[in-house]
């Protein structure tokens, strides 16, 4: 069976699919772009569910509200639903979906205003995971610049009762009982600009991932630094030394090496939020964050006034694995050699909010 | 029967939905319920809560601004319009 590699791109103006042969990752000319999908809605996360084969897109229309879109034919036809995705008539209005996470047969959606919803019917209907919203810290939750958003959701690979979420600007939470109760896990994560820089919650986590093969090792890129936890998020170690700034959005784990992650630092929250010195680079550590080095070959080395948002970097599962990232000004870059060299795959897309990959039957 | 005029951006979300629809109802909310039975999910797209339209959805009954509770007479023309917004 021939396989096809899909790069799934969420943007402020719809979803797009870049498709090509896995063997042709080196050749940008061999790829085909389709879209815009999802009727041009702002899409915050666009992904593949390997279990069902569905494409799932989470977003929100300024007119028609939040929804999770689903395609079971690789993007040809779509359904959408937000049935049940509500805090009730007395609660805040639902604005958007920021992350969709399949966990076995269950779909989870992280939403704005921050909360978690669950679907057991493939996204047709949704139920509020009230335990997170009922956390005692909820009255103190404050939005980040992008809103009060639950943008990261993932489960332990062998115990679906153990899950983590990340909320801006609130922090990391974990459950050990399938979502009934949640614990804030932010010890050691700094909040610049607060009288107490290490509160229980209030951290502006931008993205969080689990390390390959070590699910209790987490990495996070924060508004105020880059961090690693070796105890499932209970305590965090700052990894800033060696990075060009403390500010950035995405962080991506290596597929098999728990000591290796990739991030794209930006120059700072009050300096324009583009890459340092306008030189585009992906930064990698191979020793748990003790040392960092930049990967730049093929990336613009000057005048790159671009940013990369939280969901906008991904890898594939080929060997060697590929890395991909999209900018907030619509360029998509790809590496077929684990970040060693890069090429531009698309240049004129709307602002990119999400990049994921999928390997499917052609 | 009232005539409900729907925006393109809504009908494209529901395969088979038409721009002009005849529907029976005595209020705007009853008309939206009729649309939702024909094309499940329409109500979710138009209403923020059970008693309120979404912030940027405007409804006019016979040319006058309306809300969910506004009465509709036989022969009324009801326009559902997305507000002019965005970039």
* B3 CA: distance to closest CA in chain A (Å): 21
CB proximity list for A44: less than 8 A, separation 6 or greater: A10, A58, A59, A60, A96, A97, A98, A99, A151, A311, A353, A354
What ipTM is given for this predicted complex? 0.95
The upper half-sphere exposure of residue B66, i.e. CA atoms within 13 Å in the direction of its Cβ, equals: 22
Joined together, the tokens standing for residue B59 give 């409804």
Strands (DSSP E) found in chain B: 2-5, 20-23, 47-49, 52-53, 57-61, 64-66, 77-82
Q: How many Cβ atoms are within 10 Å of B75's Cβ, its own excluded? A: 9
| Interface contact flag, A63 B54, Cβ < 8 Å | yes
The single residue listed with the structure tokens 């070590």 is A214
Would you say the pTM of this structure is higher than 0.80?
A: yes
Q: Is residue B87 pLDDT above 70, yes or no?
A: no
Q: Which residue has the tokens 């939702």?
A: B36
Which residues in chain B have Cβ-Cβ distances shorter than 8 Å to A39?
9, 12-13
Residue A45, token pair as written in the block: 């996360």
Residue A221 tokens read as 């890129």
B41: chain A residues, CB-CB within 8 Å: 80-81, 83
Give the sheet arrangement for strand A261-266, strand by strand. Answer: A247-253, A261-266, A282-285, A293-295
Written as six digits, the tokens of A140 are: 């103190």
pLDDT digits (tens, 9 = 90+) for A199-255: 999 999 999 999 999 999 999 999 999 999 999 999 999 999 999 999 999 999 999
Q: Are A109 and A85 in contact (CB under 8 A)?
A: yes
CB contact under 8 A, A64 and B55: no
pLDDT digits (tens, 9 = 90+) for B23-40: 999 999 999 999 999 999
Q: Find which of A37, A65, A113 to mutate to test the B interface (most B CBs within 10 Å of its CB).
A: A65
Q: For residue A106, what are its two tokens?
A: 């269950």
pLDDT in tens, A263-312: 999 998 888 899 999 999 999 999 999 999 999 999 999 999 999 999 99
Q: Is A106 exposed, middle or buried (0-12, 13-18, 19+ CB in 10 A)?
A: middle
Which residues, other chains included, contact A98 with Cβ-Cβ below 8 Å and sequence gap of 6+? A44, A45, A58, A110, A111, A112, A149, A150, A151, A311
CA torsion through residues A209, A212, A215, A217, sign: negative
Residue of A nearest to B50 (CA): A89
Quick: pLDDT tens for A2-26.
899 999 999 999 999 999 999 888 7
Phi, psi at B34, each rounded to 5°: -65, -45
């Amino acid at each position: 069976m021939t396989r096809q590699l899909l790069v799934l791109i969420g943007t402020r103006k719809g979803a797009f699919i870049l498709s090509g042969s896995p063997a042709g990752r080196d050749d940008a000319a061999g790829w085909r772009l389709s879209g815009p999908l999802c009727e041009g809605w702002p899409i915050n996360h666009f992904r593949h569910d390997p279990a069902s084969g569905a494409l799932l897109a989470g977003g929100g229309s300024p007119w028609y509200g939040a929804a999770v879109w689903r395609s079971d034919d690789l993007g040809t036809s779509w359904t959408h639903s937000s049935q049940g995705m509500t805090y009730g008539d007395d609660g805040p209005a639902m604005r958007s979906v920021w992350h969709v996470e399949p966990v076995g047969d269950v779909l989870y959606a992280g939403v704005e205003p921050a909360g978690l919803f669950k679907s057991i019917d493939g996204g047709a209907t949704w139920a509020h995971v009230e335990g997170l919203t009922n956390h005692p810290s909820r009255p103190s939750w404050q939005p980040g610049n992008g809103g009060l958003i639950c943008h990261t959701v993932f489960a332990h690979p062998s115990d679906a009762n153990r899950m983590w979420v990340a909320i801006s600007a609130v922090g990391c939470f974990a459950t050990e009982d399938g979502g009934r109760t949640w614990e804030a896990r932010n010890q050691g994560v700094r909040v610049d600009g607060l009288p107490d820089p290490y509160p229980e919650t209030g951290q502006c986590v931008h993205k969080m991932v689990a390390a390959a093969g070590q699910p209790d090792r987490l990495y996070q890129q924060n508004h105020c630094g880059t961090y690693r936890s070796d105890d499932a998020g209970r305590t965090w170690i700052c990894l800033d030394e060696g990075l060009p700034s403390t500010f950035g959005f995405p962080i991506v784990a290596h597929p098999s090496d728990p000591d290796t992650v990739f991030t794209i630092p930006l120059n700072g929250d009050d300096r324009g939020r583009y890459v340092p010195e306008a030189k585009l680079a992906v930064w990698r550590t191979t020793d748990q964050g003790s040392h960092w080095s930049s990967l730049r070959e093929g990336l613009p080395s000057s005048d790159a006034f671009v940013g990369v948002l939280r969901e906008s970097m991904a890898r594939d599962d080929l060997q060697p694995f590929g890395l991909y990232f999209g900018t907030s000004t619509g360029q998509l870059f790809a590496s077929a050699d684990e970040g060693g060299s890069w090429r531009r795959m698309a240049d004129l897309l709307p602002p990119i909010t999400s990049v994921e990959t999928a390997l499917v039957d052609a | 029967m009232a005539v409900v005029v729907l925006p393109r951006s809504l009908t494209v979300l529901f395969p088979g939905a038409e721009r002009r629809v005849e529907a029976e109802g005595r209020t705007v909310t009853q008309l939206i319920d009729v649309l939702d039975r024909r094309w499940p999910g329409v109500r979710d797209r138009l209403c923020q809560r059970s008693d309120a339209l979404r912030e940027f959805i405007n409804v006019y009954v016979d040319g006058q601004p309306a809300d969910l509770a506004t009465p509709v007479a036989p022969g009324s023309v009801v326009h559902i319009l997305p507000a002019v917004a965005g970039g």
